[in-house]
Structure 1
Amino acid sequence: MNFVRFQYHILIYIVVLYPIKSVLSEPHGMALGGHYGIHDEKEHIHSTERPCAVCPRHGVCVPHVQCPAHVRPGSRNPQCHLDGMRVGVCCFTGRSHAAESDRKFRSSINVEDVKAAHNQSRQKLKQWLGHAEGLQNEHYAVVNATSPSYGHHLSMVTYDKRAQKLGRGALLNIFAAQELKSRQALSDDDLAMGFTDHTDGPYCPPVPSCPHAPSRYRSIDGNCNNQGNPSWGAVNTGYGRLLPPSYSDGIWAIRISANGVPLASARAVSSALILDGSHPSRTHNLLFMQFGQFIAHDISTGVVFTLGNGSPISCCDSNGEDVLPPEKQHWACAPIVLDEGDVFYGQFSQRCINFVRTQLAPDFDCSVGYATQMNGASHYPDMSHLYGSSAEKLARLRAPGGLLATFNDYGRELPPLTHRKECLNVHDGAACFESGDNHGNQVISLTVLHTIWTREHNRIARTLAGLNSAWDEDTIFWEARRIVLAEFQHIIYNEWLPLLLGSKTMQVFGLTPSSGYALSYDPSINPSLTAEFATAAMRFGHSIVDSQLTVLSPQHKGVYESISLPEVMFQPSRLRIKPFLDRLLLGLMWQPMQSVDPFVTEALSRYMFHGGNPYGLDLAAINIQRGRDHGLQSYNEYRRLVGLEPITDFHQFPSSAAQRLSTVYTSPEDIDLWVGGLLEEPIEGGVIGTTFANIIADQFAKLKRGDKYYYEYGPDINHGAFTTNQLSEIKKVTLSRILCDNSDGIEISAVSPNAFLRSLPGNDPVQCDSPLIPAMDLAKFVV
């Protein structure tokens, strides 16, 4: 692989290339990320011209990914210099797919057509809900609690009652769009470009009510961050898009092949291309992987449809032995069909993997249009999985004194216990923990991070209470939360992202933390996550998971135990073993993560959430199907978007990959984004390929530039800004410091200065009181 920048050394990371491991390689050139075309291909369509020194027509020079209009047919976006070596495009449309001048004023839409669409929409929703209500009493339509799919349901379910109402409103609006399209009142171009804001939808969500004076503290649900657009980034709002969706009907029907036939089953693609294999990283450890999942859970929670009573929907008959016939299926079903001779599932007579489509969210402009999927978390990095995304949830998570509630396990603080039956171990003494997003028990290494950050809040709250005797418990709580969120954001941008993207990509996208206050806030930028980020690019992390968790014990002079990953999914009770938290943290810092490549451990592709069954779910197949559910365009379209030439022949991949691709895709134009992204070699200094790197860098740039409460902004932007002295203290914080302050201290006394890299020369473990792991001085936060 390439080079990974580290504060002490540049560590060379070399991986032995297996047959399909020889992934797509881009010759180095001038495109963002260091890759520009492949093999003997010509450069991007605009590359024949010399890049502009200054963009014409008041255009702005940006990375290709930040100007989606440049891939529209007939677009004219000359190249320009981003820096000495990188090129971007001159953009004249902001981040929109089209300019305002392209927007059509459609006053000619017939009022009678709109009324008919509204009536048709309400009638159709009534029919659908009636059908769904009838399924509640049918045993075949509800997932059995012993099924692997039940674990997946627990990972996707929301207990927020607002989501269901909003989801029904979104259905009303897409039904209206379908009716208007059938009446030729809307064209495919209207739908793709979002030229539908002149049509009132049958349902319009309520606009958030914001305080007249901006708050010092970030809201719990993400509302009111942007005064002009108060719903941007809020919980239960829709994902954005880099490109218009690829729905076969333009509105919600799942994508089909470029030649007009259904795509191969997501399981067939997974079985052919996403194999089991072990290619350990020589630099990055498993804590890097686990922190990535922790970030992802905070900013993105896919919410699936459920039956009206909240029960999980089953799309498979006889516990997976067949697909339910259409008349018995819920309308949100999109089951993954298995071949009869499936190399793994065939031996268990399985022909169906349960898959329920993502809940939809209505647009706040009241327009009809294509389906937009709902994010059940706020889109901001605001630790919603620690604090919740609603006032009701937060109230259940708080404790007196400005603290977060905990379970006192013989003097050790663990997350509070939950009464919901979402864990598989139910014997006496078993533990099942509460979290802000209800998913903290998904895997025990994730539960460990929930524990560490819960303790960090309480550590800071107690210190602040001692330093500010006049503060009441509310002030203590909100000030502690404000500091914890700043620490979390700083670790993301200062430690985690540079190891993912490399220093050059960080610089081009403006992601590197400043020396003082940042000056990049732009209220016109919508920070909401894109569907491409949430359902494909950020899921690179599933490739770096290891099948085993290694538990280390210095007292036992080495490996204490090795645990199969599926055995600790929704089974967190080992945390009650007193030295376990320290031992697992040591293991996560010592154990290498897997490389980013088209390999996913069988723990996820065959045995995920298996419980007492001999088989589980295939996460790779679910990822592929989720991308199709969200209407992601094909991999080639995103290559074009980021400034790369499309793949025109499978043989542009190494021979073994080409052969496998051709067995499940009829054309390179059909390759799913998640699959194609994993086939790319990593960019310089990072661990992911060019396409994913651009999508992820663009998203974190939006989360920085479009978030008024981003920790580096000064008082002219952020009403809860830190003083320059306080900000300097926050910028001392590393994840290593968080671990030192909040582990049990039973077997952890030393950690590496960079907790995300293995203990290699230059990153050897040091004692927690070492100056290499500086501590924040909370005395600077005395008011």
Structure 2
Amino acid sequence: MFTSKEFILLLFFLCTLKCVVSQNLTCADLNKLYEDGKNLVNVQRLYDGLLQLNHITQENKEIGYNYFNYEFSQSMSHNVSEEYLKAKIYTQTASLFYDQLNNVESDVYELFQNYTHCFFEPKSTPEHLNYFVNKKYRSINGNGNNIKYPKRGESFTSFGRLLKHQYDDNIYSIRKSVRGNSLPASRSIVRKIFLNQKTNLNKFTKRNDTPNMLFLLFGQIIKHDTSSKQINQNVAPNEGVRCCSHMNKFQLPPSLMHSSCLPITISRNDSFYSSKNIRCLDFVRSNLISNNPYKVEVGEQMNRVTSFLDLSVIYGSDYERMCKIRSYNGGRLKMNPSNVLPLVNGTYYSGENRASQTKFFIVLQSLFVRNHNHIVDKLALLNSHWSEERLFQEARKINIAIYQNIIYNEYLPLLLGVESSKRLENVVYNPETDPSTLNEFSSAAFRFLHSFLPSEFELRDRNLKVRKVSISDALNENESISSYENILRGLMYQNISKTGYSDEILNKLFKNNRDIGLDLLSIDIMRSRDHGIAPYFKYRKYCDIKPFNLKSFNDLSPHISKKYISQLRETYKTVYDIDLIVGAALEELESNNSSESNSLVGPTLQCIMLEQFYRWKAGDYYFYTHDLSEFSFTKEQLKTLNQIKMSNFLCDNSDLDFVQESAFINNKNDVKCTELSYMDLSAWKEDLSIVNDN
């Protein structure tokens, strides 16, 4: 261990970096603050490194180790690491800047950006110069999709936002109550409102079109395809950041805690953890990124993957990963002998590092890899003159189009209601629309889907005999895939949960050998605070949900029931403190039983989700329905793509004998795969006489 003297010296140095002077700051003052900020970050990095050297790190088999290991296991390039470090320095400098202003009531974030000229010479070069845009195929990393704003939606850039971030210091420290107190602990919120209650949050029990687990996990594919945060780290492989003591008995003192820690506190009267003597759960803050090299910006959370609906979950979000996935044999992707994702060092390997969280994800991702290879085989027969590269790119383009078609024409009508999803039908490309995945969507709104998870996954054999496996056991499994079709049948014939968050989600996520795991909802609440998501009432106003100006908890009616209003009043000090993910999760759904109007989510979540899916379509130059260049799909090709349903997709890429006619709905309306049409790509046959003439 390092000595108390070393701690005292480090802490003394940290304190000397903070001083208060006048509010009339010059460029010299700002540059001094920048140097102080850089020194402070370097000291923090040194300090965090000392923790690692002294083995104050989280190790395998501890509570939640696998969860956090997935979050930081994907490496960053040197350039991205530099931008991450710069973002930390700017953010720390802004914090010092805030201290210099004596915590004045002003927009510190905007004031800080006004000092850009102190750090950089003015740049006249347009942002879009020196970027090559391939009009035929989208890039792997998302760069150049928009020639005017080439980095929008690119991997390793920041999430977008609907509303400005909300921090206590307007920079990075966690939001507090409007009364100045700390917000209620996330686990306390879960315990008082969600735990040990059959909350029936989803309130769609009378619907005839109950979604199945295939619908739910397909949503997880969308989530992984468009967002992946990276938590802060300064540790060796197989070691995680530690915020709690060994066995999670208490929160580590500040002198032993990593600078990125934000531990979840557990009360003594917690019905689950207290009996296990658990008083603390590890939680590590997300990495920041600086997007503009010529502008002083407080860091924003980094998205490791492309924002676009481009199957980066299959193809990767950087060229290095893509090269490991491709076989470079006829345009195909690598598969193992069982025709599922390839194994690399005993782990299933795909476009992003969360593929092997559970075999249910592995099977769904394998569907798209199989589909890519089927497309390649068909295209090679139609166009024997095509190169290996063209076969790969055309198959990728078609595979992405099928995926986008399923999302907008089958998935969203079920999630948001048919009438609401129709608003997205005629959306055209708008180069001013930012397609970046919204922080509110990734860190709050789409996480509500966790409430649909049941306690167990079901697997079904050819006779539909059921074998069950708990969610927590499924996440801990690391076995080979030997029941591909059984998994698919299980997903099709198992309904999503109608009773809210299960015990498996609230107590046992990524459990250890003592059957103790994380609380996913507590993590979701903390992550939304870490990412500076504004409180619930502000999104009600943004989404035009009346009354706009809430004055008391009672004003939440009729969108939230009296029962939940009472629980919210007991949990939060004011109605203005309610976290977005909490308030939105408790909203009532429409009483109409028709699937034409019904959404599976309340009005605030529906609003945020609609905005996100609008942006992903309007802001994506390569979206499959856009007719913007000679390389866009032809009318005949679009007709073929729009005829491919999820049911066809399942039959084409598995050995299933029958499927649900509407693949995302468990209505027992089976159809034989032999009765469904197979993918016909004749519209892609190239006329060689025209090619030769050109």
TM-score, with length taken from structure 2: 0.87
One-letter amino acid matched to 1:650: F
Q: Distance in 2 between matches of 1:383 and 1:201?
A: 41
Matched-pair contact (CA < 8 Å) for 2:476–2:511: no
1:569 match: secondary structure: helix
Kindly state the Cα deviation for residue 753 of structure 1 after the two structures are TM-superposed: 2.1
**Who is 1:734 aligned against?**
645
**Who is 2:672 aligned against?**
767
Mapping of residues 339-738 of structure 1, within 5 Å: 339-364=267-292, 366-399=294-327, 400-409=329-338, 413-419=339-345, 432-507=347-422, 510-512=423-425, 520-555=428-463, 558-573=464-479, 575=481, 577=482, 580-595=483-498, 599-644=500-545, 645=547, 646-651=549-554, 652=557, 653-683=560-590, 684-716=597-629, 720-738=631-649
Among 182, 199, 205, which residue is 2:99 paired with? 182
After TM superposition, the structure 1 stretch with the greater mean CA deviation from structure 2, 688-697 or 215-224, is: 215-224
1:497-536 CA distances to partner (integer Å, 9 max, x unpaired)?
Answer: 11111123223xx312x5xxx6x11111111111111111
Change (3 A) 1:459 1:190: same
**Who is 2:49 aligned against?**
133
Kindly state the Cα deviation for residue 121 of structure 1 after the two structures are TM-superposed: 2.0
Change (3 A) 1:622 1:194: farther
**Who is 1:333 aligned against?**
261
Matched-pair contact (CA < 8 Å) for 2:290–2:298: no
1:224 match: secondary structure: coil
1:64-96 CA distances to partner (integer Å, 9 max, x unpaired)?
Answer: xxxxxxxxxxxxxxxxxxxxxxxxxxxxxxxxx
Change (3 A) 1:353 1:198: same
Change (3 A) 1:593 1:654: same
1:343-383 CA distances to partner (integer Å, 9 max, x unpaired)?
Answer: 10001111111000010011316433444111111111111
Matched-pair contact (CA < 8 Å) for 1:709–1:720: no
One-letter amino acid matched to 1:471: W
1:574-625 CA distances to partner (integer Å, 9 max, x unpaired)?
Answer: 52x2xx2111211111111124x7x211111101101422210000100000
Matched, 1:287 2:198: no
Change (3 A) 1:138 1:201: farther
Q: Distance in 1 between matches of 2:355 and 2:671?
A: 30
Change (3 A) 1:776 1:197: farther
Among 256, 264, 269, which residue is 2:184 paired with? 264
After TM superposition, the structure 1 stretch with the greater mean CA deviation from structure 2, 114-123 or 229-238, is: 114-123
**Who is 1:249 aligned against?**
169
Matched-pair contact (CA < 8 Å) for 1:237–1:362: yes
Matched-pair contact (CA < 8 Å) for 2:45–2:234: no
Q: Distance in 2 between matches of 1:738 and 1:620?
A: 33
**Who is 1:755 aligned against?**
663
Q: Distance in 2 between matches of 1:537 and 1:151?
A: 24
Q: Distance in 2 between matches of 1:135 and 1:203?
A: 35
Instruction: List gaps (5 residues or longer) in structure 1.
Output: 1-107, 420-430
Matched-pair contact (CA < 8 Å) for 1:180–1:186: no
Matched-pair contact (CA < 8 Å) for 1:239–1:374: yes
Kindly state the Cα deviation for residue 728 of structure 1 after the two structures are TM-superposed: 1.1
Q: Distance in 2 between matches of 1:185 and 1:116?
A: 17
One-letter amino acid matched to 1:272: K
2:211 match: secondary structure: strand
Change (3 A) 1:767 1:251: same
Change (3 A) 1:308 1:213: same
2:457 match: secondary structure: strand
One-letter amino acid matched to 2:507: R
After TM superposition, the structure 1 stretch with the greater mean CA deviation from structure 2, 562-571 or 205-214, is: 205-214
Q: Distance in 2 between matches of 1:208 and 1:604?
A: 45
1:80-122 CA distances to partner (integer Å, 9 max, x unpaired)?
Answer: xxxxxxxxxxxxxxxxxxxxxxxxxxxx972223322321222
Q: Distance in 2 between matches of 1:561 and 1:144?
A: 32
Q: Distance in 2 between matches of 1:490 and 1:594?
A: 26
Among 670, 682, 685, which residue is 1:779 paired with? 682
Matched-pair contact (CA < 8 Å) for 2:133–2:144: no
Kindly state the Cα deviation for residue 194 of structure 1 after the two structures are TM-superposed: 8.3
Q: Distance in 2 between matches of 1:498 and 1:221?
A: 29
Change (3 A) 1:259 1:737: same
1:289-337 CA distances to partner (integer Å, 9 max, x unpaired)?
Answer: 1100110000011110111545421111123111110111111100001
Change (3 A) 1:191 1:482: farther
One-letter amino acid matched to 1:381: L
One-letter amino acid matched to 1:593: I
Matched-pair contact (CA < 8 Å) for 1:334–1:357: yes
Matched-pair contact (CA < 8 Å) for 1:285–1:590: yes
**Who is 2:87 aligned against?**
170
Please, what is the CA RMSD of the aligned residues? 2.4
Q: Distance in 2 between matches of 1:178 and 1:202?
A: 17
Counting matched residue pairs gives 637
Q: Which structure features the higher share of helix residues?
A: 2
Matched-pair contact (CA < 8 Å) for 1:226–1:708: yes
Q: Distance in 2 between matches of 1:407 and 1:199?
A: 52
Change (3 A) 1:407 1:654: same
Kindly state the Cα deviation for residue 774 of structure 1 after the two structures are TM-superposed: 3.9
Identical pairs, percent:
30
Matched-pair contact (CA < 8 Å) for 1:729–1:777: yes
Q: Distance in 2 between matches of 1:201 and 1:354?
A: 39
Matched-pair contact (CA < 8 Å) for 1:527–1:702: yes
